[in-house]
Each structure stands twice: as C-alpha cells, then as structure tokens.
C-alpha cells in the first residue's frame, strides 16, 4: 500500500471517529466516551501526518507537540469546573490562530517566491481562513480576559462604524494582496484582521458572552476547513466543517435561548450599569434551620442550580438534600436553564457528576409550567436565569430572555452569599417578591446545614 493511501485512510478513520464522538457528546450519558473517541481520532490524524514524504523538521514538531501536551494536560487537570469557559475560549483562540498561521505560511510563500502561483479559489480560501482565524484568535483571547474579569467592556464614540471600517480595510488588503504580493500589504492584512477580532469583542459583555464564545468556536472550525482546502488536508476539511456546523447551530440555539438575535448580540451595546427601572421593597432573609424545617411540610420541591452552585461545588450536598426529601415522599425535580452557569450544559455536567439521575432533571421548556404548582423552589446560586426583569422591564439588558418561572412558585428560597449580582450585573426583582426568602451563605455550607437540621429532626 502506498503512503498516500495510508494517510488518506487514516484521515477518513479520524473523521469518522470525530463524527461518532460528536454524536455521543450530545447526551450526558455517552459524552465521556464521545470525548475519548474524538481524542483517538485526533491522535490518528496527528500520527498520519508524520507519514507525509515531504515532512521535515521532525524534531521541532515533536518538541512542539510535547510542550503543547504538557501545558494542555496540566491545564486541564488543574482547571476548576467554573474555569471551563475560559479554557474553552483559550483553546478556541489557539485553533483560530493555528489556522491563521497556516494561511500566513501559504500566503508568505507567494511573497518569498515570485514564480509561485496560487489558483484564485485557493487564494480566496486562504485569505478567508486567515481573516476568520485571526478574528477568532484575538476575539477569543479577549473573551478569556473578560471571563476572568481582567478586562471590562470598552466603549468609545463611533465604535461600530470604526469596527466595520477596520473589517473593510482587512478585506480590502486581502484582495489587494492577490494583485500585489508585497510585505506591507501582507502585514496590514493580518494586523487589521487581528485588530478586528479584538475590537469586535471589546463591547460585548454581560449575558451575551456565551453566544460570542460559541460564535468564535464556529469561526475556528470554518477557518480550519478553509485552510484544509488550501493545503489539501481531508482531516482538516472534515473536522473544521463539523466544528463550524456544530458551533453555528450552538450559536443559534444559545441566541434563541436568550431571545436575542445574533446582530443584537454583536452590535447592540450592553451596559448593565445604565439600565433598569428602580426596585421598590426590601428583601427578606430566613435562618437556615427555619428554611430546612419548612421542607417537612411540602409535597413538591424544585431545585434551580446556577453559577453559585458551581463556585461552591455544592452539587453533591444538593443531591444529598434531594435524597432526604425523596425519602420523605416529596416530589423533587431539578430545573436547568440553557445558559445557567458559565458554559453550555454546565449544570447538567455538575448534576451528572453528583450522580443525579436524568429522570429528575428537566429543561426550561419542560418544567416552566410546573412552578405554579410547586410548594418550594430552592434557588442555589442562580441569579440572572430567574430574574423576572427579563419579562417585565423593557430597559433591562436581559429583557426578552426566557427565564425559569420561579416567581410563580408558592415559596422561594434563594441561597447565595450576599448581595452579589449575577453575570449581567443587574438587580434581581425576584429577591423582592413577597414569597421569596434569602437564605444567606455559601451554597455548600447552607445545604449541609439544612441536611444536618433535617437529620436531627428524624
Ligand atoms: P449568575 O451569574 O447570574 O449568578 C450567580 C450567583 O451566584 C451570584 O448572584 C452570586 O451571588 C451567587 N454565588 C456565587 N458564589 C456563590 C457561592 N459560593 N454560594 C452561593 N452563591 C454563590 O448565575 P446564573 O447561573 O443564574 O446565570 C448565568 C449567567 O452567566 C447568565 O447571565 C449567562 O448569560 C451568563 N453566562 C453563561 C454562559 C453559559 O454558557 N452558560 C457563559 C458565560 C456567561 P453572591 O455573590 O451574593 O453569592
């Protein structure tokens, strides 16, 4: 068998494993095996690359793989569940940057060798991939800084016009480069493309970040697919297309879950500090043992987990409390909002980790009508996803985002540490409802205390 055939077979095998892996990732039950399958596919694709006859600089490549593996391995081992979105943003950026780097090498070869020719379609794909990959690279890095809270939103006059002008310059330099292979044009093309990624992300914030991260994911996939065509690499074309398509679908679903159009997310300024009607009334707090005792007199309880549960790592304790209620014959459910936490599926992952069976977990659409018939809803570190301002306050930045109808329950306990706001940085009207009580403290400690109280009563 010749080497080319072996390489192509390996690439198709890798592509099949990527597809099967992705399919399995769609359910929490099979997700772990899906990740492993896709990982094996990637290993096969990397190994096949070494069989290319023209491959050289093997030592440098192996060194790069070694350094990358060590950093990724240690990073993934160390990262807390709450740091996952930042890590995803960073890896996304690296993928986009790698695609742009491939394009840079291909385009630079036109500069370095005046006899080199590139068909116009290949050139166009190289430039499009370079543009999208560069945007994803700087955009994702900025998203990383924002998620880490190292960077605030940046606004300046004529922002959208300036942003669009920079994008128009990037496209123009890309086109000019086809006719004039000169170093200044090459540099200007990449500089404006990278700058646009940063500018685009600067003003996006608040609750819109999940949509943007997902969009950059799609961008990285598309950039990789484009460069796959340029260097004629089947594995890159298939993997890039899969990531591009999955990322695009996820972006649409996330935007839909927040009732926002993509244009609105990208171009409408989000500023939590300059919004929202005044809130009248006061919040009421309740002591932990009192809240626990009330659980003895109910028939139906819904738990609503949010980002705070992830911070506190309270999922095991919450499931322990749910089990105590189940033993008492109480009907227990967990309600999950699509953007609860800091990444898609964040709450599903935590609850699965704690061993909560899937039958107890419901999506927002499934459970939203049940709240009105629920005796007590226990909100654990959730805030934006239960804020009724999304339904009632037209000036609110989250107005229009579907929320969990927690406010309709007979009684609500909100477990949080203090007066901290949610990701969108706005006041939560729910906390001022007459049927709502704040149970202050770290989620894990509060739930542990509730469990202790219930057990002592037995
Ligand atoms: P929020 O970010 O709205 O609120 C979290 C709440 O948890 C805070 O009000 C905080 O209050 C409380 N909290 C923090 N630590 C603890 C702790 N140890 N114990 C108890 N409570 C704690 O969370 P939601 O899940 O409701 O909403 C998610 C938000 O994040 C949405 O706005 C969404 O758009 C955004 N987002 C989602 C992403 C995704 O893909 N899912 C990605 C990026 C952003 P206090 O400080 O008082 O304790």
pLDDT digits (tens, 9 = 90+) for 285-325: 999 999 999 999 999 999 999 999 999 999 999 999 999 99
Distance 229 CA to ligand 1 centre (A): 41
Distance CA 72, CA 163 (A): 33
Distance 83 CA to ligand 1 centre (A): 13
Output phi, psi for 339, to 5 deg. Answer: -115, 25
Determine if ligand 1 sits within 6 Å of the CB of residue 384: yes
> Which is it for strands 331-336 and 300-305: parallel, antiparallel or unpaired?
parallel
SS3 assignment, position 440? strand
Q: Which residues of 340-377 are buried (b: 16+ CB within 10 A; e: fewer)?
A: bbbbbbbbbbbbbebebeeeebbebeebbebbeebbbb
Task: Give the residue numbers annotated as catalytic, written as ranges.
Answer: 384
Q: With left for phi above 0 and alpha for psi between -120 and 50, is residue 313 left, alpha or beta?
A: left
Q: What is the DSSP letter of 285?
A: B
Integer Cα distance of 159 and 30 in angstroms: 44
CA–CA dist 94, 90 (Å, integer):
6
> Which residue's alpha carbon is nearest to atom 31 within ligand 1?
207
Instruction: Determine the pLDDT at residue 114.
Output: 78
Helix axes 84-112, 120-147, angle to 10 degrees: 150
Of all atoms in ligand 1, which is nearest to the CA of residue 214? 40
Q: Which two tokens stand for residue 283?
A: 């919040």
Sheet with 331-336, side-by-side order of all strands = 361-363, 331-336, 300-305, 376-380, 411-416, 436-440
Contact 404, 427 (CB under 8 A): no
Residue 206 CA: which ligand 1 atom is closest?
Answer: 32
Residues (pLDDT < 70) of the chain are: 1, 206-207, 268-278
- 422 C-alpha to center of ligand 1: Å? 5
SS3 55: coil
Query: Which residues lie across from 378 on neighbouring strands?
Result: 303, 413
Which residue's structure tokens are 């990624």? 197
Cα separation, 58 vs 64, in Å, equals 10
Ligand 1 contact via 209 beta carbon (within 6 Å): yes
For the beta carbon of residue 9, count every other beta carbon within 10 angstroms: 13
Query: From the alpha carbon of 207, which atom of ligand 1 is closest?
Result: 34
The pair phi, psi for residue 328, each rounded to 5°, is -85, 0
* Nearest CA, atom 16, ligand 1: 308
For ligand 1, is residue 342 a contact (CB within 6 Å)? yes
Q: Where in the chain is CATH 3.40.50.1220?
A: 288-456
Q: How many CA atoms lie within 13 A of 31 on its CB side?
A: 9
Q: Which fold has domain 288-456?
A: Rossmann fold (3.40.50)
Residue 344 CA, closest ligand 1 atom number: 40
Alpha carbon distance 446, 289 (integer Å): 9
Distance of CA 125 to the CA centre of its chain: 27
- In tens, the pLDDT along 384-416 reads 999 999 998 888 878 888 999 999 999 999 999
- For ligand 1, the distance from its centroid to the CA atom of residue 343, given in whole angstroms, is 11
Report the distance separating Cα 147 and Cα 162, nearest Å.
25
**Contact between residue 133 and residue 96 where contact means Cβ atoms under 8 Å apart:** yes
User: Are 155 and 203 a contacting pair, CB within 8 Å?
Assistant: yes
Check residue 83 and give its pLDDT: 81
Contact 291, 322 (CB under 8 A): no
Q: Are 397 and 424 in contact (CB under 8 A)?
A: yes
pLDDT at res. 207: 66
pLDDT for the residue 394: 83
Q: Which helix (H) or strand (E) holds 108?
A: helix 84-112
């Amino acid at each position: 068998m010749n080497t080319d055939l072996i390489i192509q077979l390996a690439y198709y095998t890798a592509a099949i494993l990527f597809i099967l892996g992705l399919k399995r990732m769609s359910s929490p039950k099979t997700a772990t095996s899906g990740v492993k399958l896709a990982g094996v596919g990637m290993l096969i694709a990397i190994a096949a690359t070494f069989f290319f006859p023209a491959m050289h600089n093997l030592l440098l490549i192996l060194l790069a793989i070694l350094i990358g593996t060590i950093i990724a391995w240690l990073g993934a081992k160390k990262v807390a569940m709450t740091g996952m979105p930042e890590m995803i943003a960073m890896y996304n950026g690296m993928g986009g940057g790698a695609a742009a780097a491939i394009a840079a090498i291909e385009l630079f070869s036109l500069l370095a060798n005046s006899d080199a020719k590139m068909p116009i379609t290949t050139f166009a794909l190289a430039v499009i991939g370079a543009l999208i990959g560069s945007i994803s690279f700087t955009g994702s890095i900025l998203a990383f800084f924002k998620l880490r809270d190292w960077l605030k939103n940046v606004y300046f006059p004529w922002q959208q016009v300036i942003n669009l002008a920079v994008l128009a310059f990037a496209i123009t330099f890309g086109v000019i480069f086809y006719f004039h292979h000169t170093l200044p044009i090459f540099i200007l093309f990449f500089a404006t493309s990278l700058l646009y990624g940063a500018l685009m992300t600067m003003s996006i914030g608040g609750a819109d970040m999940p949509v943007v991260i997902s969009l950059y994911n799609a961008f990285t996939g598309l950039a990789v697919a484009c460069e796959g065509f340029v260097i004629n690499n089947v594995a890159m074309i298939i993997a890039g297309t899969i990531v591009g398509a999955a990322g695009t679908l996820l972006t649409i679903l996330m935007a839909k879950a927040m009732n926002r159009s993509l244009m609105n997310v990208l171009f409408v300024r989000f500023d939590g500090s300059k919004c929202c009607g005044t809130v009248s009334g006061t919040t009421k707090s309740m002591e932990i043992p009192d809240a626990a005792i009330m659980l003895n007199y109910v028939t139906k309880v819904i738990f609503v987990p949010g980002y705070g549960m992830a911070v506190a790592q309270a999922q095991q304790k919450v499931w322990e409390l749910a089990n105590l209620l189940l033993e008492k014959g109480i009907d227990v459910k967990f309600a999950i909002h699509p953007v609860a936490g800091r990444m898609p599926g964040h709450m599903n992952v935590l609850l699965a980790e704690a061993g909560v069976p899937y039958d107890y977990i419901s999506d927002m659409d499934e459970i939203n009508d049940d709240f009105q018939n629920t005796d007590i809803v226990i909100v654990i570190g959730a805030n934006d996803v239960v804020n009724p301002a999304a339904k009632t306050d037209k000036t609110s930045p989250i107005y229009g985002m579907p929320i969990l109808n927690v406010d309709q329950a007979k009684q609500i306990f909100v477990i949080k540490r203090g007066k901290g706001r949610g990701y969108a940085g706005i006041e939560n009207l729910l906390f001022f409802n007459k049927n709502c009580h704040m149970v202050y403290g770290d989620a894990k400690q509060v739930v542990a205390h509730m469990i202790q109280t219930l057990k002592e009563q037995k």
